[in-house]
Amino acid sequence: MTLLAKYYVPGLAVEDHSIDVPLDWSGHEPGKGFAGETIKLFYRVVTAPEHVHDDLPLLIFLQGGPGGAGPRLNSPTSDGWIEEAIKHFRVILPDQRGTGRSSRVDTHTMAAIAAAHEGESAIALGGGASESGSAAGASIAAQAQAAYLKKFLADSIVRDFEHLRLTEFAGRNWVTLGQSYGGFLTLTYLSLYPQGVTASFTTGGIPHVPADATEVYEHTFPRMMRKTAQFYERYPQDIERVAAVADKLPSAGELVLADGRWVAESGRDVTLLPNGDPLTVERLQCLGSDFGMKPSFERVHWILDDAFLDGDGSAAASSPLSDEFLTKVMNATSSRPLYWPLQEFIYANGEMNEPIRWAAQRVRDARSEFEADKRPLNFTGEAMFPWMFEQEKALRPFKAAMDVLMDDTHFGRLYDAEQLARNEVPLQAAVYFDDMYVDSGMQLDTLSRVGNAHYWTTNEFEHDGLHGSEVFAHLWRESLNRGDLEALF
């Protein structure tokens, strides 16, 4: 192991490690040597201080996202499941490739790729876009960026982890715990390398197999409406406050960038966030992306509470929006660099009949309830839209690559339905009945076709239930009492 640091935080013994993995796993197998360009995979090993010298079973945490790094812990209770897990396991917390301290991908990466191909003619790259639509005329730089981003999806992430298991942990089997997107990674792991897994836990993250991004958003947009209605029921005063804010803002479609300034074609004033991004009705609606977590209603309510500058802060058409409000909106609607660029491509499984072509936007366009001039204004959830890559500073460097990827139909295979049907690895899933992000009905449909799968369906928790103290402990007891962990304990 490449040990970078060894230290303690209150209640936890921590080791930092890093290994090399291939940027491109094509032609390589985990656990074996490889040639070509490499990237760093960073991971932490966390243990209860009293168990530092004990030979505990291994549990690897598959982080949510996409584009999510492993948790940064202040104590065993700062992420609720950790306190229970370290009683029984040595816990491995990797930063998925491209995130955290694992060869990060951000605007600098996209700029470097573009600069490396500056002036080259538009030709197809191996593993790049199809020859249809806007992709056919894309620059070589855009195609190179798109090809690079495709190497940061689940098929590569899981191969990184299997390589880690084989090379740094002597091939010992481990237990996987997948939160949200980590559940997607779990099914990829069970499709590709089930022999490395003793048992799997998932929370709020069983993908629908076969995968279809459009189908996902057809299920989740109605949930976004219900969550908005519940928010307004709890805080009816915010109906007026949200409307008053929205009435001051242009829609995303009105904006053009002229001589370095954002201008609304309607002549409406443009409000800028502290980072220079324009605040539109659509970006305001993105405050709802957190509505599947607790206590998200309260977080959004208190953001709106600071919206108006004048007087006692009551909603008023004449009052400017406060700097504090604009800062809070900016922070609440900004995202990790890979989160939105990869969001819809987590549903891209192998050779597809049709490209994704902005699935969330297409579903939204068919639902007039989400239009910018509707009142009460509906919030949107975990969904990305084309305007983000035009109007958000942190995402603009990804735009050319996104245009290529949205017309692409060639992706790595994520799920093997036949292998999942004959799966023998015990899988214990927590399915949140009211999950806003991952439809519970679609999760249960998939689980009905996965061998040795068990599930616990509950409406007691939201999508982030794992971060409390109860969910992992419940899954642990279920698996232990069923004998799924007999080989370990």
Q: Report pLDDT for 2.
A: 85
Q: Is residue 127 part of a domain?
A: no
Q: Is residue 223 part of a domain?
A: yes
Closest by CA to 255, choosing from 282, 285, 222, is: 282
Q: Is residue 488 part of a domain?
A: no
Quick: pLDDT tens for 206-230. 999 999 999 999 999 999 999 999 9
Q: Does 206 share its domain with 301?
A: no
Q: Tell me what the pLDDT averaged over the chain comes to.
A: 95
Among candidate residues 405, 424, 446, the one where a domain is terminated: 405
Q: Does 273 share its domain with 222?
A: yes
Q: State mean pLDDT over 313-323.
A: 95
- Cα 100 from Cα 458, distance rounded (Å): 32
Q: Which domain holds residue 386?
A: 214-405
The answer to which of 15-19, 98-102, 336-340, 375-379 has the lowest mean pLDDT is: 336-340
Confidence bin at 136 (pLDDT 50/70/90): low
Q: Does 396 share its domain with 439?
A: no
How many domains does the structure of the chain reveal? 2
Q: Does 55 share its domain with 201?
A: yes
Coil, helix or strand at residue 159: helix
pLDDT at 418 over 70: yes
Q: What are phi and psi of 299, to 5 degrees?
A: -60, -45
pLDDT at 161 over 90: yes
Quick: pLDDT tens for 111-123. 999 999 987 755 4
pLDDT at 189 over 80: yes
Q: Report pLDDT for 137.
A: 60
* Strands 174-179 and 58-62, sheet pairing: parallel
Q: Does 371 share its domain with 242?
A: yes
Q: Report pLDDT for 320.
A: 97
- Cα 197 from Cα 437, distance rounded (Å): 26
The partner residues of 420 in beta bridges, in order of sequence, read none
Q: Does 239 share its domain with 354?
A: yes
**Residue ranges with strand state E in 180-254:** 197-203
Q: Does 242 share its domain with 360?
A: yes
Quick: pLDDT tens for 34-67. 999 999 999 999 999 999 999 999 999 999 999 9
pTM listed for this prediction = 0.95
pLDDT at 422 over 90: yes
Q: Does 430 share its domain with 388?
A: no
Confidence bin at 469 (pLDDT 50/70/90): very high
Q: Is residue 55 part of a domain?
A: yes
Quick: pLDDT tens for 162-186. 999 999 999 999 999 999 999 999 9
Confidence bin at 124 (pLDDT 50/70/90): very low
pLDDT at 134 over 60: no
Q: Report pLDDT for 133.
A: 44
Q: Does 205 share its domain with 332?
A: no
Q: State mean pLDDT over 451-458.
A: 98
Q: Is residue 345 part of a domain?
A: yes
Q: Does 322 share its domain with 394?
A: yes
Q: Is residue 89 part of a domain?
A: yes
Helices (H), strands (E): how many in the chain? Answer: 17, 13
- Cα 480 from Cα 473, distance rounded (Å): 10
pLDDT at 125 over 70: no
- Cα 160 from Cα 301, distance rounded (Å): 41
Closest by CA to 363, choosing from 214, 142, 178, 185, is: 214
**Number of CB atoms found within 10 A of residue 315's CB:** 18
Q: Report pLDDT for 107.
A: 95
Q: Report pLDDT for 336.
A: 81
Q: Report pLDDT for 135.
A: 55
Q: Is residue 262 part of a domain?
A: yes
Cis status of the peptide bond prior to 295, with omega within 30 of 0:
yes
